[in-house]
Structure 1
Amino acid sequence: MIVVTGATGNIGRRLVGRLLEDGVAVRALTRDPARAGLPPEAETVRADLTDAAGLEPLLAGADALFLNLAAGGQEAAGAVLDAAVKAGVRRVVLNSSIAVTGTPADETNFIARMHAALERAVRDSGLEWTFVRGGDYATNALAWSASIRESGVVRDAHPGAQGVPVHEADLAEVAAVALLDRSGAHQGQIYTVTGPEVLTVAQRVAAIGGAVGRETRVEQITEEAAAEAMSGPHFPKEAALELVRMFGGTVGTAPAVSDAVERVTGRPARTFAEWARDHAADFS
């Protein structure tokens, strides 16, 4: 049996479905099972990942764990990992971040620092492990859904910022292969997972316009305004500003494109245009 944290998130939901297709028993952890909307074949369980005392029973009988820092934060992820060790879980696949470099620079970046610390904890746990380092999630574009529906205009600090957006289904499939591995081929591996093509913010907005059949464009705003719009209860403005400035640093660059999706799953990564078509209803 495989336990999935963040089961109702973009990656987790896809992962639950993918594992069920393979006939694997899945225990999906969520704060509200009644509203989860997961397939009935999954064992959907109420979980408060901030309650360390109640975590071990959630891992009982599990062979593997998909661990996502986004499903409760750094402290909760560490507690889930500790509970997995106590429950006798054998393998953990960590949804990490492409921001992690394995160099001292990780300590100067908010996102890298959190994920690097969790990677160290996983390595030290004694469990078999695989790291799936994703970044530039295509689903980040969902933040534009309201503005595209209302006006067709996206306000962004850096329309020319470049990245290699990755479909959540590809991240889920890479994680599934590692979780289901019986050969040991994925043990101790670090997969940096990207999409197949470099795109600017403006090109992504145009691709969404093509998917929904309307004109879309980008209006440039200040970094401060962009950080304010991005920040929230679990993402401080200082971290958002750091992220916005990092995006700005990609203007005119050539971000690396990884072939990890094809190497691990045996098929090419999905394009952003495919992602936009898959999510057209979110922007219509």
Structure 2
Amino acid sequence: MILVTGATGTIGREVVRLLPAHLAVRILARDPAAVTGGSTTAETVQGDYEDPGSLMRALSGVRAAFLVTNRIADDDARFLRAARSAGVRHVVKLSAAGVTDGEAEDLITRWQRGNEELWRGSGLEWTLLRPRLFMSNTLSWAESVRTHGVVRALYGTSANACVDPRDVAEVAVRALTGDRERYAGTALTLTGPEPLTAVRQTAQLAELLDRPLRLEELGPGQARTVLAERYPRDIVEAILERAEQQRQGGKSEVDGTVPALLGRPAGSFRMWARHHLSAFRASMEPVSAAGQSPCEPAVTMAEKAD
């Protein structure tokens, strides 16, 4: 049995979609009704990290688990206690590439590093997935692109080796279902094929949409005001610190792990954007149902994109 958490998020829902239908899969969700896209044979159970009983029920009979945690809290420790009691053998943990940035000491990165250390010392088999910024975070631009032809971004000329979430999910599935000796005890940095700036992403979107787009670069003060509408002050400051690391070039390095594991090139932003183009189209433009995708926030604690 494989347990998937975070199944309503960017990576978790792709993991659910990619897991082979013949495998026994259980999905843990606070709101089971929000889970979509899984195999008809997958079991969905209600639970919460703060409810030990629900964790034990969800982990009963589970041999491997995909773990996403989304709060600066002790959710990893709670899950670990239940996993040990239930006899889970392998946990694939979604972390972030920022833990390797030696200069990064913001609140979110310190929390992620602490979680990684927890799993390293857990006594269980573990695999750490360290993605860079998710390409899907650009869906936060969708409304302003649709209505005004504008992308608003902080530090528009700073580069990030952003990754296609589908690549991250495919690696997660291979770690959950493949050769345990290959994946156990590994920390995998997952990036796209090239570092990209918001300027270049805007240009590629404009070309694909066949309409002019312009970039409005936000200053730190403007970004702080926008983020404060969604997050507590300490999280806002951590996000801005991470953005500063990117501005200094700390997130532009391309890693070869994705192509090495998947046997193909890492997905490009152009390819990802083409697949999700309907999200960026103006309402009067034709929309392809196959490319429909919901808008998502630029930064989510649940996904820990970096």
The question of a shared fold, defined as TM-score above 0.5 by the shorter chain, is answered with: yes
Correspondence for 1:112: 109
C-alpha separation between the residues in 1 aligned to 2:168 and 2:240? 26
Whether contact under 8 Å (1:227, 1:240) holds in the other structure is no
Q: 1:168 to 1:123 in 2, by over 3 A?
A: same
1:33-112 aligned within 5 A: 33-39=32-38, 40-70=40-70, 72-101=71-100, 105=103, 108-112=105-109
SS at match of 2:265: coil
Whether contact under 8 Å (2:141, 2:151) holds in the other structure is yes
Gaps of 5+ in 2: 282-306
SS at match of 1:241: helix
SS at match of 2:98: coil
- Cα deviations across residues 208-247 of structure 1 (Å, max 9, x unaligned)? 2233332212112211211332342467221222123223
Q: Post-superposition, which runs of at least 4 consecutive aligned residues in structure 1 deviate over 3 A?
A: none
Correspondence for 2:300: none
Residue from 169, 176, 190 that aligns with 1:179: 176
Whether contact under 8 Å (1:52, 1:76) holds in the other structure is no
Residue from 263, 274, 278 that aligns with 2:275: 278
Whether contact under 8 Å (1:20, 1:42) holds in the other structure is no
C-alpha separation between the residues in 1 aligned to 2:180 and 2:36? 33
Whether contact under 8 Å (1:30, 1:45) holds in the other structure is yes
C-alpha separation between the residues in 2 aligned to 1:49 and 1:210? 44
SS at match of 1:147: helix
Query: How many residues are matched?
Result: 278
1:117-128 aligned within 5 A: 117-128=114-125
1:149 partner amino acid: R
SS at match of 2:66: strand
2:25 partner amino acid: V
Whether contact under 8 Å (2:18, 2:170) holds in the other structure is yes
Whether contact under 8 Å (2:161, 2:251) holds in the other structure is no
C-alpha separation between the residues in 2 aligned to 1:213 and 1:49? 46
Correspondence for 2:298: none
C-alpha separation between the residues in 2 aligned to 1:131 and 1:142? 26
Q: 1:137 to 1:222 in 2, by over 3 A?
A: same
C-alpha separation between the residues in 1 aligned to 2:205 and 2:227? 20
Correspondence for 1:11: 11
C-alpha separation between the residues in 2 aligned to 1:54 and 1:73? 21
SS at match of 2:95: strand
C-alpha separation between the residues in 1 aligned to 2:235 and 2:170? 31
C-alpha separation between the residues in 2 aligned to 1:46 and 1:183? 28
Establish whether residue 237 from structure 1 lines up as the match of residue 236 from structure 2.
yes
Q: 1:31 to 1:183 in 2, by over 3 A?
A: closer
Whether contact under 8 Å (1:223, 1:245) holds in the other structure is no
C-alpha separation between the residues in 2 aligned to 1:111 and 1:97? 10
Correspondence for 1:168: 165
Structure 1, 264-273 or 42-51: larger mean CA deviation: 42-51
C-alpha separation between the residues in 1 aligned to 2:186 and 2:36? 32
SS at match of 2:99: coil
SS at match of 2:200: helix
Q: TM-score, normalised by structure 2?
A: 0.85
Establish whether residue 265 from structure 1 lines up as the match of residue 262 from structure 2.
yes
Q: 1:280 to 1:188 in 2, by over 3 A?
A: same
Whether contact under 8 Å (2:13, 2:36) holds in the other structure is no
Residue from 185, 188, 195 that aligns with 1:198: 195
C-alpha separation between the residues in 2 aligned to 1:224 and 1:41? 49
C-alpha separation between the residues in 2 aligned to 1:269 and 1:74? 33
C-alpha separation between the residues in 1 aligned to 2:254 and 2:20? 30
Whether contact under 8 Å (1:227, 1:244) holds in the other structure is no
- Cα deviations across residues 37-92 of structure 1 (Å, max 9, x unaligned)? 2333321222222323431111111110111123x554223211221111100001
C-alpha separation between the residues in 2 aligned to 1:276 and 1:123? 36
